[in-house]
Amino acid sequence: MIHVLYFQLVESSHFRGGFISWKPTENNQIEINYRVAFRRSASSHMCDETTIDNGTINSGEGTLQCLKGCIGSITTMSYYCTDFSDTEEWTTGTNSIKYNPSAASSDNLYHFGFTGCCWINLVEGGSNWMMRTTADLNKRKDTGKINSSPISAMQPIVRFNYGCDYTLKIPVSDDDGDVVRCRWSTKTPNDECSGVCETLSGAYLEEQLIIWVNPPIRHATLVVDDHVVKQVTDNPESDAVIVLNPSCSAFKTPEKVRTKCTEAVAAVPPLFYLESSCPSHFVQCNELGIGYIMPCAPGTEWCQQKLTCVHLGSCKT
């Protein structure tokens, strides 16, 4: 499930970032929630304490579009202001809409997005933005229910001193209790970022939602995914081999996974991702040395050199 998060590391103007999430509701509908942020003095984005107290809706700009699996506009991107800053000159707010896809998708996947212009005065990247989310309305095999996306929230501007190294923790939560990972957005196969794509020079992203930053950089576009996982525990009563799917060779025994994770996280520097015998999966280790079997997205495979899932055949390119 794809959920696009934007954040900004030094001051810019107009569009300041946003986030889209969704969850299933009754009558085959989904509730789409979004948060957007803009320059406070820009047209239709003014907000103060009176705006918040009165529950005044800002008209915003642009529309939320169905990009794949259905057709047409869903709603205008109006929002209720929740916060503002005089000194940083930003406004941010939220809104939601219940939506019933009018067209049946063959795979029950629906892509929604919000695009526009402008990011300006960028050190890297172009001026256009794209926020995109993918709603998978298939029922999960583990719970028998439709998944809900993870959610995240960040202030529109984060300031760092030039020439210093920093770490930035991205706050997230997931109603289903899934492991949440983060990656840089990509332009293909589905545009997740428009003018601000791929990685940023001077920054390193860990999938545990931590960014190591060395300024100057201006904007980044990230994708937050939730993944159904199976915990691998050290069970002395069994040495059974875990088989991930019929097309894969045997994984590793739980004991070996636990041992490898314990060794990996104790190393200097610690390593939280391990290669498996099945290219479509990998092992994620937590600080306690417990391992989780993690799947790569369809059409991708694990690349240990890059510590992420990449398009098939592109690991060594």
Span 290-305, mean pLDDT? Answer: 77
Can you give the pLDDT at residue 11? 40
Q: How far is CA 251 from CA 231, 243, 281, in A?
A: 13, 6, 9
CB contact at 8 A, 20 and 77: no
More confident residue, 117 or 10: 117
CA nearest to 192, candidates 77, 111, 298 = 111
pLDDT tens, position by position, 174-205: 888 887 777 778 888 888 888 777 656 666 66
CB contact at 8 A, 216 and 195: no
pLDDT tens, position by position, 139-158: 888 888 898 888 877 777 77
The answer, as to whether pTM is greater than 0.75, is: no
- Is pLDDT of 73 > 90? yes
255 Rama sector, left if φ>0, alpha if ψ -120 to 50, beta otherwise: alpha
| Side chain identity, residue 242 | I
Torsion on CA atoms 42, 48, 53, 58, rounded to nearest 10? 0
36-40, 216-220, 257-261: which is most confident: 36-40
Span 232-244, mean pLDDT? Answer: 32
CA 310 distance to own-chain centroid: 16
Exposure on the CB side of residue 209, measured as CA atoms within 13 A: 19
Q: Could you tell me the end-to-end alpha-carbon distance of the chain, in angstroms, rounded to an integer?
A: 26
